[in-house]
Amino acid sequence: MKSNRLIISGERAVRIARTVIVVLLALLVCAVPTYSWFYVGRRAVAITPVSNPTALYISAANKEDISYLDLSGIDVTNGTYKDYVFCIRGNNVWNYMLQLAYTTNNQFTFEIYRAEMTTGSVPGSAIGTVLYVPHDGTADQYYYIPNAASQVTGHFLNNRSGSDTLAKDNDAYHDDTYSGYADTAYINQYAEPLYWHADTAINVLNEDMDYLNNFFHYYILRVRWSNEKQNDRETDIIYISARNSTS
Amino acid sequence: MTNGKNKKSILILVGSFASLVIVFVVLLLAVGYSFNRTLGWFAANKQVTADDMSVTIYDFSTFEIYVANDDMTEFANNDDILTHLNNHENAFQQNITSNTRVGALCQMKSEVVSSEIDDDGIFPGSYGTITFDIIPKAELTSVTFDISYFGLTGTNSGVADAASDSLAGGMLSGHLLMFEDRTPISGSDGPHYYYSDRVNGTYTYTFGASPDFTDSYGEHYTVTLYWVWPATFDQMIFNDGDARLHSRSIFSPSDTTSSSELQTYIIANNEYFLYNSGKTLIPFLGTDHADFELNYADLSGEYNEGDQLIGESVRYVAVLFEATANE
Protein backbone atom coordinates (compact mmCIF):
# COMPACT_ATOMS: atom_id res chain seq x y z
CA MET A 1 0.00 0.00 0.00
CA LYS A 2 1.32 3.39 -0.95
CA SER A 3 1.09 5.93 1.78
CA ASN A 4 3.00 8.98 2.85
CA ARG A 5 1.85 8.79 6.36
CA LEU A 6 4.07 7.40 8.97
CA ILE A 7 2.58 4.25 10.32
CA ILE A 8 3.89 2.99 13.55
CA SER A 9 2.85 -0.31 14.92
CA GLY A 10 0.92 -0.42 18.14
CA GLU A 11 3.68 -1.73 20.39
CA ARG A 12 6.29 0.64 19.03
CA ALA A 13 3.85 3.49 19.29
CA VAL A 14 3.33 2.82 22.94
CA ARG A 15 7.07 2.76 23.52
CA ILE A 16 7.53 6.02 21.71
CA ALA A 17 4.72 7.56 23.66
CA ARG A 18 6.19 6.44 26.93
CA THR A 19 9.62 7.83 26.01
CA VAL A 20 8.15 11.12 24.99
CA ILE A 21 6.17 11.38 28.21
CA VAL A 22 9.17 10.58 30.29
CA VAL A 23 11.33 13.13 28.48
CA LEU A 24 8.70 15.83 28.80
CA LEU A 25 8.22 15.09 32.48
CA ALA A 26 11.95 15.24 33.02
CA LEU A 27 12.16 18.62 31.33
CA LEU A 28 9.26 19.86 33.43
CA VAL A 29 10.87 18.66 36.61
CA CYS A 30 14.09 20.42 35.66
CA ALA A 31 12.34 23.62 34.83
CA VAL A 32 10.65 24.35 38.14
CA PRO A 33 13.30 23.99 40.91
CA THR A 34 15.95 26.17 39.28
CA TYR A 35 13.96 29.34 39.91
CA SER A 36 14.29 28.90 43.64
CA TRP A 37 17.88 30.15 43.69
CA PHE A 38 17.51 32.70 40.97
CA TYR A 39 16.57 35.67 43.12
CA VAL A 40 18.50 38.51 41.56
CA GLY A 41 16.56 41.36 40.08
CA ARG A 42 16.31 45.05 39.40
CA ARG A 43 15.90 46.14 42.96
CA ALA A 44 17.78 45.97 46.21
CA VAL A 45 16.48 46.71 49.66
CA ALA A 46 18.84 47.43 52.51
CA ILE A 47 17.12 46.86 55.81
CA THR A 48 18.05 47.11 59.47
CA PRO A 49 16.19 47.35 62.78
CA VAL A 50 16.02 50.64 64.68
CA SER A 51 16.68 50.63 68.41
CA ASN A 52 14.04 51.69 70.88
CA PRO A 53 14.79 55.15 72.17
CA THR A 54 15.26 55.29 75.89
CA ALA A 55 13.81 58.05 77.97
CA LEU A 56 15.23 58.81 81.39
CA TYR A 57 14.15 61.89 83.34
CA ILE A 58 14.79 63.41 86.72
CA SER A 59 11.78 64.92 88.44
CA ALA A 60 10.77 66.31 91.76
CA ALA A 61 8.66 64.32 94.20
CA ASN A 62 5.23 63.22 93.02
CA LYS A 63 6.79 62.93 89.56
CA GLU A 64 6.40 66.68 89.20
CA ASP A 65 8.55 68.87 87.00
CA ILE A 66 12.18 69.23 87.95
CA SER A 67 11.64 72.92 88.62
CA TYR A 68 9.88 71.93 91.85
CA LEU A 69 13.01 70.23 93.17
CA ASP A 70 14.07 72.85 95.64
CA LEU A 71 17.31 72.29 97.55
CA SER A 72 16.98 75.29 99.79
CA GLY A 73 16.34 75.98 103.44
CA ILE A 74 19.44 74.32 104.91
CA ASP A 75 20.04 75.50 108.50
CA VAL A 76 23.29 74.08 109.82
CA THR A 77 22.53 75.18 113.37
CA ASN A 78 19.61 72.78 113.42
CA GLY A 79 20.49 69.10 113.25
CA THR A 80 23.13 67.40 111.14
CA TYR A 81 21.38 66.73 107.85
CA LYS A 82 18.45 67.68 105.62
CA ASP A 83 16.60 65.43 103.19
CA TYR A 84 15.16 66.21 99.77
CA VAL A 85 13.16 63.97 97.48
CA PHE A 86 13.78 63.48 93.77
CA CYS A 87 12.46 61.00 91.27
CA ILE A 88 14.10 59.03 88.45
CA ARG A 89 11.52 58.09 85.88
CA GLY A 90 11.56 56.88 82.33
CA ASN A 91 10.57 54.48 79.64
CA ASN A 92 12.28 51.43 78.13
CA VAL A 93 15.12 51.59 80.62
CA TRP A 94 16.09 48.48 82.53
CA ASN A 95 19.21 49.62 84.34
CA TYR A 96 20.59 53.04 85.15
CA MET A 97 23.58 54.46 86.96
CA LEU A 98 23.37 57.40 89.35
CA GLN A 99 26.09 60.02 89.54
CA LEU A 100 26.61 63.25 91.44
CA ALA A 101 28.85 66.18 90.66
CA TYR A 102 28.99 69.14 93.01
CA THR A 103 31.06 72.11 94.06
CA THR A 104 32.45 72.18 97.59
CA ASN A 105 31.99 75.71 98.91
CA ASN A 106 29.95 74.26 101.72
CA GLN A 107 31.47 71.38 103.63
CA PHE A 108 28.55 69.10 102.79
CA THR A 109 28.51 65.40 102.09
CA PHE A 110 25.71 63.77 100.17
CA GLU A 111 24.01 60.43 100.51
CA ILE A 112 21.35 58.92 98.30
CA TYR A 113 18.72 56.53 99.60
CA ARG A 114 15.96 54.73 97.75
CA ALA A 115 12.70 56.11 99.14
CA GLU A 116 9.09 55.09 99.48
CA MET A 117 6.14 57.40 99.39
CA THR A 118 3.11 57.42 101.60
CA THR A 119 0.21 59.79 101.96
CA GLY A 120 -1.15 60.64 105.35
CA SER A 121 0.56 59.29 108.42
CA VAL A 122 4.07 58.02 108.44
CA PRO A 123 4.80 54.37 109.17
CA GLY A 124 6.19 53.90 112.65
CA SER A 125 9.33 52.11 111.54
CA ALA A 126 10.33 54.79 109.06
CA ILE A 127 13.80 56.26 109.26
CA GLY A 128 13.41 59.97 108.66
CA THR A 129 10.59 61.60 106.78
CA VAL A 130 10.36 64.26 104.15
CA LEU A 131 7.16 66.16 103.60
CA TYR A 132 6.27 67.19 100.07
CA VAL A 133 3.34 69.41 99.21
CA PRO A 134 2.22 68.45 95.68
CA HIS A 135 1.35 71.12 93.16
CA ASP A 136 -1.42 69.14 91.51
CA GLY A 137 -3.92 69.36 94.35
CA THR A 138 -3.38 65.86 95.71
CA ALA A 139 -2.83 65.21 99.40
CA ASP A 140 0.47 65.97 101.09
CA GLN A 141 2.97 63.16 100.72
CA TYR A 142 5.59 61.79 103.07
CA TYR A 143 8.71 60.13 101.78
CA TYR A 144 10.81 57.90 103.97
CA ILE A 145 13.83 55.68 103.77
CA PRO A 146 12.61 52.09 104.21
CA ASN A 147 15.80 50.70 105.72
CA ALA A 148 19.57 51.13 105.89
CA ALA A 149 19.99 48.73 102.98
CA SER A 150 18.25 51.18 100.70
CA GLN A 151 21.27 53.46 100.57
CA VAL A 152 22.78 53.76 97.11
CA THR A 153 26.44 53.15 97.83
CA GLY A 154 29.08 54.79 95.72
CA HIS A 155 32.57 56.17 95.56
CA PHE A 156 34.34 59.40 94.68
CA LEU A 157 36.23 59.61 91.42
CA ASN A 158 38.47 62.57 92.19
CA ASN A 159 38.56 63.42 95.87
CA ARG A 160 41.77 64.58 97.47
CA SER A 161 43.16 61.78 99.56
CA GLY A 162 41.82 61.86 103.05
CA SER A 163 39.03 64.25 102.19
CA ASP A 164 35.44 63.73 101.17
CA THR A 165 34.69 67.39 100.61
CA LEU A 166 37.44 68.56 98.26
CA ALA A 167 38.31 67.63 94.69
CA LYS A 168 41.78 67.07 93.24
CA ASP A 169 43.00 69.85 91.01
CA ASN A 170 45.66 67.99 89.02
CA ASP A 171 44.24 64.74 87.71
CA ALA A 172 42.59 63.51 84.52
CA TYR A 173 39.15 64.63 85.69
CA HIS A 174 40.45 68.14 86.21
CA ASP A 175 41.75 68.13 82.64
CA ASP A 176 38.42 66.85 81.33
CA THR A 177 36.41 69.38 83.30
CA TYR A 178 38.47 72.34 82.25
CA SER A 179 39.62 71.27 78.79
CA GLY A 180 40.00 74.31 76.61
CA TYR A 181 40.36 76.67 79.55
CA ALA A 182 43.77 78.19 79.26
CA ASP A 183 44.78 79.24 82.74
CA THR A 184 43.75 76.66 85.30
CA ALA A 185 45.84 78.20 88.04
CA TYR A 186 43.02 80.61 88.75
CA ILE A 187 40.36 78.00 89.42
CA ASN A 188 39.03 78.17 92.97
CA GLN A 189 39.59 74.82 94.65
CA TYR A 190 36.06 74.80 96.01
CA ALA A 191 34.65 75.40 92.54
CA GLU A 192 36.33 72.27 91.25
CA PRO A 193 33.54 69.68 90.97
CA LEU A 194 33.74 66.58 93.06
CA TYR A 195 32.49 63.55 91.16
CA TRP A 196 30.64 60.70 92.85
CA HIS A 197 29.53 57.54 91.11
CA ALA A 198 27.24 54.78 92.32
CA ASP A 199 28.90 51.40 92.77
CA THR A 200 26.32 49.43 90.82
CA ALA A 201 23.52 50.21 88.43
CA ILE A 202 19.98 50.32 89.71
CA ASN A 203 17.75 47.68 88.20
CA VAL A 204 14.26 48.51 87.03
CA LEU A 205 12.14 45.51 87.90
CA ASN A 206 9.20 44.29 85.86
CA GLU A 207 6.85 45.16 88.70
CA ASP A 208 8.12 48.74 88.59
CA MET A 209 6.90 49.15 85.03
CA ASP A 210 3.41 49.78 83.74
CA TYR A 211 2.05 48.24 80.53
CA LEU A 212 3.86 50.89 78.46
CA ASN A 213 7.21 50.23 80.18
CA ASN A 214 7.07 53.51 82.12
CA PHE A 215 8.58 53.40 85.59
CA PHE A 216 9.54 55.75 88.42
CA HIS A 217 11.78 55.42 91.45
CA TYR A 218 11.88 57.86 94.35
CA TYR A 219 15.10 58.82 96.10
CA ILE A 220 16.06 60.92 99.08
CA LEU A 221 19.14 63.11 98.76
CA ARG A 222 20.52 63.59 102.26
CA VAL A 223 22.68 66.70 102.62
CA ARG A 224 24.85 66.15 105.67
CA TRP A 225 27.19 68.50 107.48
CA SER A 226 29.55 68.03 110.38
CA ASN A 227 32.01 70.89 110.33
CA GLU A 228 29.65 73.73 109.60
CA LYS A 229 28.83 75.81 112.65
CA GLN A 230 27.07 78.78 111.14
CA ASN A 231 25.01 79.66 108.12
CA ASP A 232 27.57 81.54 106.07
CA ARG A 233 25.50 81.86 102.88
CA GLU A 234 27.79 79.93 100.60
CA THR A 235 26.29 78.46 97.44
CA ASP A 236 27.02 75.18 95.77
CA ILE A 237 25.85 73.65 92.53
CA ILE A 238 24.99 69.97 92.47
CA TYR A 239 24.30 67.86 89.40
CA ILE A 240 22.31 64.66 89.76
CA SER A 241 22.63 62.45 86.70
CA ALA A 242 21.11 59.17 85.70
CA ARG A 243 22.49 57.28 82.78
CA ASN A 244 21.08 54.28 80.94
CA SER A 245 23.23 51.24 81.45
CA THR A 246 23.18 47.76 79.98
CA SER A 247 23.87 45.88 83.19
CA MET B 1 -3.04 -6.00 12.48
CA THR B 2 -5.63 -4.43 10.36
CA ASN B 3 -5.31 -0.95 9.00
CA GLY B 4 -8.27 0.10 10.95
CA LYS B 5 -6.75 -0.92 14.22
CA ASN B 6 -3.46 0.76 13.32
CA LYS B 7 -5.20 3.95 12.48
CA LYS B 8 -7.01 3.82 15.73
CA SER B 9 -3.79 3.31 17.65
CA ILE B 10 -2.06 6.09 15.85
CA LEU B 11 -4.93 8.40 16.41
CA ILE B 12 -4.88 7.58 20.09
CA LEU B 13 -1.15 8.01 20.15
CA VAL B 14 -1.23 11.29 18.27
CA GLY B 15 -4.07 12.50 20.42
CA SER B 16 -2.32 11.77 23.67
CA PHE B 17 0.97 13.11 22.37
CA ALA B 18 -0.64 16.33 21.24
CA SER B 19 -2.46 16.80 24.50
CA LEU B 20 0.74 16.28 26.40
CA VAL B 21 2.49 18.90 24.34
CA ILE B 22 -0.38 21.29 24.80
CA VAL B 23 -0.34 20.72 28.54
CA PHE B 24 3.39 21.30 28.64
CA VAL B 25 3.23 24.49 26.62
CA VAL B 26 0.40 25.82 28.75
CA LEU B 27 2.40 25.02 31.86
CA LEU B 28 5.41 26.86 30.48
CA LEU B 29 3.36 29.91 29.71
CA ALA B 30 1.79 29.89 33.15
CA VAL B 31 5.14 29.54 34.80
CA GLY B 32 6.53 32.18 32.52
CA TYR B 33 3.97 34.82 33.42
CA SER B 34 4.13 34.29 37.14
CA PHE B 35 7.91 34.38 37.31
CA ASN B 36 8.11 36.83 34.53
CA ARG B 37 11.58 38.03 35.13
CA THR B 38 13.30 34.93 36.26
CA LEU B 39 12.23 32.59 33.49
CA GLY B 40 15.43 32.53 31.53
CA TRP B 41 15.40 29.47 29.43
CA PHE B 42 11.94 28.84 28.23
CA ALA B 43 10.54 32.21 27.39
CA ALA B 44 11.94 35.44 26.12
CA ASN B 45 13.44 37.78 28.73
CA LYS B 46 10.89 40.35 27.92
CA GLN B 47 7.65 41.36 29.45
CA VAL B 48 5.08 43.01 27.28
CA THR B 49 2.51 45.37 28.63
CA ALA B 50 -0.15 46.97 26.62
CA ASP B 51 -2.36 49.87 27.37
CA ASP B 52 -4.88 51.43 25.10
CA MET B 53 -2.41 53.48 23.17
CA SER B 54 0.86 51.65 22.95
CA VAL B 55 2.79 48.57 23.76
CA THR B 56 5.86 48.89 25.98
CA ILE B 57 8.51 46.28 26.21
CA TYR B 58 10.69 46.07 29.33
CA ASP B 59 13.98 44.44 28.63
CA PHE B 60 15.36 42.79 31.75
CA SER B 61 18.33 41.23 30.12
CA THR B 62 20.88 44.00 30.50
CA PHE B 63 21.88 43.74 34.18
CA GLU B 64 21.04 42.28 37.55
CA ILE B 65 21.53 43.31 41.14
CA TYR B 66 23.02 40.67 43.30
CA VAL B 67 23.87 40.25 46.94
CA ALA B 68 26.65 37.79 47.56
CA ASN B 69 25.58 36.40 50.89
CA ASP B 70 21.84 36.49 51.13
CA ASP B 71 22.07 34.79 54.47
CA MET B 72 20.63 37.51 56.66
CA THR B 73 18.51 34.92 58.34
CA GLU B 74 16.74 37.45 60.50
CA PHE B 75 15.17 39.01 57.42
CA ALA B 76 15.44 36.38 54.71
CA ASN B 77 13.47 33.90 56.78
CA ASN B 78 11.12 36.37 58.44
CA ASP B 79 7.89 36.00 56.52
CA ASP B 80 6.33 38.95 58.33
CA ILE B 81 9.00 41.35 57.20
CA LEU B 82 9.08 39.94 53.71
CA THR B 83 5.31 40.13 53.42
CA HIS B 84 5.35 43.76 54.37
CA LEU B 85 8.21 44.57 52.05
CA ASN B 86 6.10 42.83 49.45
CA ASN B 87 3.07 44.97 50.21
CA HIS B 88 4.96 48.19 50.13
CA GLU B 89 4.30 50.19 47.02
CA ASN B 90 7.06 49.67 44.46
CA ALA B 91 8.92 47.32 46.69
CA PHE B 92 10.69 44.29 46.49
CA GLN B 93 8.44 41.33 45.80
CA GLN B 94 8.79 38.05 47.52
CA ASN B 95 6.99 34.96 46.51
CA ILE B 96 7.07 33.34 49.86
CA THR B 97 5.68 29.96 48.90
CA SER B 98 8.22 29.26 46.22
CA ASN B 99 11.07 31.21 47.84
CA THR B 100 11.69 33.24 44.75
CA ARG B 101 12.24 36.92 44.88
CA VAL B 102 12.49 39.84 42.54
CA GLY B 103 15.13 41.95 44.13
CA ALA B 104 18.09 41.50 46.37
CA LEU B 105 18.00 41.88 50.12
CA CYS B 106 20.98 43.29 51.92
CA GLN B 107 21.73 44.64 55.34
CA MET B 108 22.49 48.22 56.31
CA LYS B 109 25.60 47.05 58.12
CA SER B 110 26.15 49.04 61.28
CA GLU B 111 29.67 49.46 62.56
CA VAL B 112 28.72 50.97 65.89
CA VAL B 113 27.93 49.11 69.07
CA SER B 114 26.87 51.03 72.14
CA SER B 115 27.42 50.08 75.74
CA GLU B 116 24.06 51.59 76.57
CA ILE B 117 21.91 49.77 74.03
CA ASP B 118 21.18 46.06 74.23
CA ASP B 119 19.38 45.36 70.98
CA ASP B 120 21.01 45.16 67.59
CA GLY B 121 19.28 48.13 66.05
CA ILE B 122 20.70 51.39 64.79
CA PHE B 123 20.46 54.63 66.76
CA PRO B 124 21.64 58.24 66.50
CA GLY B 125 25.38 58.05 66.09
CA SER B 126 25.32 54.83 64.07
CA TYR B 127 27.08 54.58 60.74
CA GLY B 128 27.94 51.84 58.31
CA THR B 129 27.84 50.63 54.72
CA ILE B 130 25.41 49.29 52.16
CA THR B 131 26.96 46.97 49.61
CA PHE B 132 25.60 45.04 46.65
CA ASP B 133 26.82 43.97 43.23
CA ILE B 134 25.74 44.85 39.72
CA ILE B 135 26.16 42.15 37.09
CA PRO B 136 26.01 43.69 33.62
CA LYS B 137 24.70 41.45 30.91
CA ALA B 138 25.12 43.82 28.02
CA GLU B 139 27.07 46.85 26.93
CA LEU B 140 26.25 49.50 29.53
CA THR B 141 27.75 52.82 30.48
CA SER B 142 26.12 53.09 33.87
CA VAL B 143 23.28 52.03 36.12
CA THR B 144 21.19 54.67 37.89
CA PHE B 145 19.53 53.95 41.22
CA ASP B 146 16.49 55.79 42.55
CA ILE B 147 16.76 55.69 46.30
CA SER B 148 13.88 56.02 48.70
CA TYR B 149 13.43 55.33 52.39
CA PHE B 150 10.53 53.73 54.16
CA GLY B 151 9.90 52.40 57.62
CA LEU B 152 8.19 49.33 58.96
CA THR B 153 6.46 49.68 62.29
CA GLY B 154 6.39 47.01 64.92
CA THR B 155 3.45 45.69 66.85
CA ASN B 156 3.20 43.54 69.93
CA SER B 157 3.00 40.37 67.89
CA GLY B 158 6.01 41.32 65.79
CA VAL B 159 4.12 42.02 62.60
CA ALA B 160 5.38 45.00 60.68
CA ASP B 161 3.34 47.37 58.58
CA ALA B 162 4.66 49.96 56.19
CA ALA B 163 4.79 53.48 57.57
CA SER B 164 6.29 55.10 54.56
CA ASP B 165 4.09 58.12 54.26
CA SER B 166 4.12 59.05 57.90
CA LEU B 167 6.05 61.89 59.40
CA ALA B 168 8.56 59.40 60.69
CA GLY B 169 9.03 58.00 57.20
CA GLY B 170 9.89 61.43 55.83
CA MET B 171 12.25 61.98 58.73
CA LEU B 172 14.29 58.95 57.67
CA SER B 173 15.72 60.60 54.59
CA GLY B 174 16.97 63.54 56.64
CA HIS B 175 18.43 61.62 59.53
CA LEU B 176 19.93 58.70 57.62
CA LEU B 177 22.35 60.46 55.32
CA MET B 178 24.08 58.58 52.55
CA PHE B 179 27.41 59.42 50.97
CA GLU B 180 29.58 58.05 48.20
CA ASP B 181 32.84 58.57 50.06
CA ARG B 182 34.20 58.66 53.53
CA THR B 183 37.67 59.17 54.96
CA PRO B 184 38.76 57.66 58.26
CA ILE B 185 40.02 60.09 60.86
CA SER B 186 41.94 58.97 63.89
CA GLY B 187 40.90 60.33 67.24
CA SER B 188 41.12 59.65 70.91
CA ASP B 189 37.40 58.96 71.10
CA GLY B 190 37.38 56.07 68.65
CA PRO B 191 37.05 55.65 64.89
CA HIS B 192 35.41 58.46 63.01
CA TYR B 193 34.83 59.43 59.42
CA TYR B 194 34.53 62.53 57.32
CA TYR B 195 31.92 62.14 54.57
CA SER B 196 31.69 63.65 51.12
CA ASP B 197 29.57 63.43 47.94
CA ARG B 198 26.15 63.13 49.45
CA VAL B 199 23.66 60.90 47.66
CA ASN B 200 20.43 62.84 47.25
CA GLY B 201 17.77 60.48 45.95
CA THR B 202 19.68 59.10 42.97
CA TYR B 203 23.02 57.47 42.57
CA THR B 204 24.67 56.51 39.32
CA TYR B 205 27.29 53.82 39.14
CA THR B 206 29.45 54.30 36.05
CA PHE B 207 31.35 51.38 34.66
CA GLY B 208 34.95 52.36 34.13
CA ALA B 209 35.84 50.51 30.98
CA SER B 210 33.42 48.41 28.96
CA PRO B 211 31.89 46.15 31.53
CA ASP B 212 32.83 42.54 31.24
CA PHE B 213 29.85 40.45 30.35
CA THR B 214 31.64 37.83 28.38
CA ASP B 215 31.08 34.90 30.64
CA SER B 216 27.57 33.61 30.85
CA TYR B 217 26.87 35.19 34.21
CA GLY B 218 28.78 38.44 33.86
CA GLU B 219 31.37 40.12 36.04
CA HIS B 220 30.36 41.49 39.45
CA TYR B 221 30.79 45.23 40.05
CA THR B 222 30.46 46.21 43.67
CA VAL B 223 28.53 49.28 44.78
CA THR B 224 29.40 50.55 48.26
CA LEU B 225 27.60 53.46 49.84
CA TYR B 226 28.24 54.90 53.29
CA TRP B 227 25.41 55.87 55.59
CA VAL B 228 25.50 57.84 58.82
CA TRP B 229 22.88 58.87 61.38
CA PRO B 230 24.39 62.02 62.95
CA ALA B 231 23.68 62.02 66.65
CA THR B 232 23.39 65.79 66.95
CA PHE B 233 22.45 68.63 64.64
CA ASP B 234 25.69 70.48 65.26
CA GLN B 235 27.68 67.62 63.74
CA MET B 236 26.20 68.64 60.42
CA ILE B 237 26.62 72.40 60.75
CA PHE B 238 29.82 73.03 62.69
CA ASN B 239 33.36 71.91 62.00
CA ASP B 240 35.82 70.23 64.31
CA GLY B 241 37.46 72.80 66.56
CA ASP B 242 34.29 74.86 67.00
CA ALA B 243 33.59 75.28 70.71
CA ARG B 244 29.87 74.70 70.17
CA LEU B 245 30.48 71.21 68.81
CA HIS B 246 30.58 68.57 71.54
CA SER B 247 31.47 65.62 69.34
CA ARG B 248 32.98 65.20 65.86
CA SER B 249 31.74 66.86 62.72
CA ILE B 250 30.77 64.59 59.83
CA PHE B 251 32.55 66.89 57.40
CA SER B 252 36.20 67.73 57.08
CA PRO B 253 37.01 71.35 57.94
CA SER B 254 38.66 71.72 54.55
CA ASP B 255 35.64 70.38 52.66
CA THR B 256 33.40 73.41 52.45
CA THR B 257 31.50 72.06 49.42
CA SER B 258 30.01 69.03 51.13
CA SER B 259 29.03 70.86 54.29
CA SER B 260 27.44 73.82 52.55
CA GLU B 261 25.54 71.50 50.17
CA LEU B 262 23.95 69.64 53.05
CA GLN B 263 23.25 72.80 55.00
CA THR B 264 21.51 74.38 52.01
CA TYR B 265 19.47 71.21 51.67
CA ILE B 266 18.51 71.33 55.35
CA ILE B 267 17.25 74.89 55.00
CA ALA B 268 15.10 73.96 52.02
CA ASN B 269 13.81 70.69 53.50
CA ASN B 270 13.69 71.23 57.22
CA GLU B 271 10.65 68.95 57.59
CA TYR B 272 12.95 65.96 56.96
CA PHE B 273 15.29 66.98 59.76
CA LEU B 274 13.31 68.75 62.46
CA TYR B 275 10.26 67.94 64.54
CA ASN B 276 8.51 70.01 67.18
CA SER B 277 6.07 67.58 68.82
CA GLY B 278 3.50 68.14 66.11
CA LYS B 279 3.62 71.91 66.49
CA THR B 280 4.91 74.32 63.87
CA LEU B 281 8.64 74.10 63.38
CA ILE B 282 10.71 76.86 64.90
CA PRO B 283 11.79 78.92 61.89
CA PHE B 284 15.33 79.13 60.71
CA LEU B 285 16.50 82.66 61.53
CA GLY B 286 18.50 83.67 58.54
CA THR B 287 19.06 83.50 54.85
CA ASP B 288 22.23 81.47 54.55
CA HIS B 289 23.57 78.39 56.25
CA ALA B 290 26.08 80.60 57.98
CA ASP B 291 23.10 81.89 59.97
CA PHE B 292 22.53 78.51 61.61
CA GLU B 293 24.32 79.84 64.65
CA LEU B 294 21.54 82.33 65.29
CA ASN B 295 19.21 79.74 66.78
CA TYR B 296 20.96 76.44 66.31
CA ALA B 297 20.14 75.41 69.90
CA ASP B 298 16.42 75.45 69.11
CA LEU B 299 16.98 73.65 65.81
CA SER B 300 19.18 71.14 67.59
CA GLY B 301 16.39 70.35 70.03
CA GLU B 302 14.02 69.79 67.14
CA TYR B 303 16.52 67.48 65.44
CA ASN B 304 16.67 65.41 68.63
CA GLU B 305 12.89 65.24 68.67
CA GLY B 306 13.07 63.96 65.11
CA ASP B 307 15.40 61.22 66.30
CA GLN B 308 12.97 60.35 69.08
CA LEU B 309 10.08 60.25 66.59
CA ILE B 310 11.93 57.79 64.39
CA GLY B 311 12.82 55.58 67.35
CA GLU B 312 9.26 55.53 68.63
CA SER B 313 7.49 55.01 65.30
CA VAL B 314 9.73 52.81 63.25
CA ARG B 315 10.91 49.29 64.00
CA TYR B 316 12.81 48.64 60.77
CA VAL B 317 14.17 51.10 58.29
CA ALA B 318 14.53 50.06 54.67
CA VAL B 319 16.30 51.79 51.83
CA LEU B 320 14.96 50.85 48.42
CA PHE B 321 17.24 51.00 45.38
CA GLU B 322 15.45 50.86 42.03
CA ALA B 323 17.85 50.50 39.16
CA THR B 324 17.70 51.34 35.51
CA ALA B 325 20.39 50.75 32.95
CA ASN B 326 21.96 53.40 30.77
CA GLU B 327 23.36 52.08 27.55
The residue-averaged pLDDT of B291-295 equals 84
Q: How far is CA B252 from CA B68, B193, B218, in A?
A: 33, 9, 38
Closest CA to B16 of A7, A17, A25: A17
Q: Minimal Cα–Cα distance from B237 to chain A, Å?
A: 21
Size of chain A, expressed as the number of residues it contains:
247
Residue B103 to residue A32, Cβ atoms within 8 A: no
Spatial separation of the C-alpha atoms in residues A71 and A80, rounded to whole Å = 16
Chain A hits for B108, CB-CB cut-off 8 Å, are: 46-48
**Inter-chain CB proximity A48 and B317 less than 8 Å:** yes
Residues with Cβ within 8 Å of residue B226, at least 6 apart in sequence: B127, B128, B129, B130, B178, B179, B180, B181, B182, B193, B195
- From B227, B306, B226, select the one nearest B266 (Cα to Cα): B306
At residue B59 the predicted structure's pLDDT band, cuts being 50, 70 and 90, is very low
- Residue B212 above 70 pLDDT? no
ipTM for the predicted complex comes to 0.71
- Among A27, A47, A51, the residue with its CB nearest the CB of B123 is A51
Q: Which residues are B150's β-sheet partners?
A: B318
User: Would you call A44 an interface residue with chain B, using a CB distance cutoff of 8 Å?
Assistant: yes
Convert the pLDDT of each residue in A91-126 to its tens digit: 888 899 999 999 999 989 999 999 998 877 776 666
| Beta-sheet pairing, A214-225 with A238-244 | unpaired
Tens of pLDDT, residue by residue over B120-162, are 789 999 999 998 888 877 777 888 998 888 887 766 555 555 5
A211 touches chain B (CB under 8 A): no
Least confident of A207-221, B27-41, B133-147, B203-217: B27-41
Question: B130, B163, B179: which is closest to B311 by C-alpha?
Answer: B163
Stretch A77-96: mean pLDDT, rounded? Answer: 90
Has residue B98 got a pLDDT over 50? Answer: no
pLDDT top residue among A1 and A12: A12
Residues of A with Cβ-Cβ distance to B75 under 8 angstroms: 47
* pLDDT digits 0-9 by tens, B228-273: 999 999 999 998 888 888 789 999 999 989 999 999 999 988 889 9
Residue B213: pLDDT band by 50, 70, 90 thresholds? low
A53 vs B66: CB contact, 8 Å cut-off? no
Of B132 and B208, which is predicted with more confidence?
A: B132
Neighboring chain B residues of A48 at a CB cutoff of 8 Å: 107-110, 121-122, 316-317
Chain B contact set for A54 (CB, 8 A): 116-117
Portion 71-110 of A in contact with B at CB < 8 A = 94
Contact present, A198 and A153 (Cβ < 8 Å): yes
Residue A222: pLDDT over 60:
yes
State how far the Cα of B293 lies from the Cα of B242, in Å rounded to an integer.
Answer: 11
DSSP class of B320: E
Q: Which residue among A1, A53, A243 sits closest to B311, beta carbon to beta carbon?
A: A53
